[in-house]
Amino acid sequence: MEQKIRLQWHPGFVSVLRIELEKELGRLEIEEEVQLTKKPLQMDVLLIKKNGEEPIEKNIGRIFRKHNIIEYKSPGDSLSVNDFYKVYGYACIYQSDTDKVMEIRPQEMTLTFVCSRFPRKLLSHLEKVRRMSVREVEKGIYYLEGDPIPMQLIIVPRLSAKNNYWLQHLRSNLRRGREIEELMERYEKHSQSR
């Protein structure tokens, strides 16, 4: 029985590319099979709605579709342009790394960025380069519009303590005494109800 030999097309392509660009090779650097990251890619949070069509009532989840990628920046960290593209890249890889083509439709995905500082440089970049706009939909919650993938930005300190008590208290400047005591008391009630 004859065994099928699988042709390795990529090395051939790179060789042909070198020949095609022969006159320019002194000005180019060609690297093959480039590992993109130093460590494995990891999303902070992937939230999948069990029933993708059913809307979420909570203000931070109204934008959610079936597959929702959430990037969280700790209180001392900022959200940069590079962070945006990293998370956008996660969405693209997540969508494409499936068994079937279009198993996850891009319109079934959202991106959420949660941080403590208003990312002015990032938003300026998105407006100028990607022609996106920023719309505040509620105190501390902003939709980043103009991309096929729905996105939101949540600025933790700007959230309403009434509507987002837990998120709003996820900050480094909690006041000693009563504020921390109340937070701990409330947390105890929730931790026992799980």
Query: Is 187 within a domain?
Result: no
Distance in angstroms (rounded) separating the CA atoms of residues 100 and 105: 11
Query: Is 89 within a domain?
Result: yes
Query: Is 32 within a domain?
Result: no
Query: Is 169 within a domain?
Result: no
CA dihedral (143, 149, 154, 160) in degrees, to 10, reads 60
**Residue 34 or residue 82, greater confidence:** 82
Answer whether residue 135 shows pLDDT above 90.
yes
Q: Which residue has the tokens 């929702």?
A: 68
Query: Is 60 within a domain?
Result: yes
Domain residues for 133?
45-155
Query: Is 119 within a domain?
Result: yes
Number of domains in the chain: 1
How many percent of the chain have pLDDT more than 90? Answer: 72
Strand order in the sheet with 151-155: 45-48, 67-72, 109-115, 151-155, 141-145, 133-138
**Residue 102 or residue 7, greater confidence:** 102
Q: Which amino acid is at 185?
A: E
Query: Is 126 within a domain?
Result: yes
How many percent of the chain have pLDDT more than 70? Answer: 98
Q: What tens digit of pLDDT does each residue of 83-100 get? A: 999 999 999 999 999 999
**Overall average pLDDT of the 129-148 stretch:** 98
Answer whether residue 194 shows pLDDT above 70.
no
Query: Is 28 within a domain?
Result: no
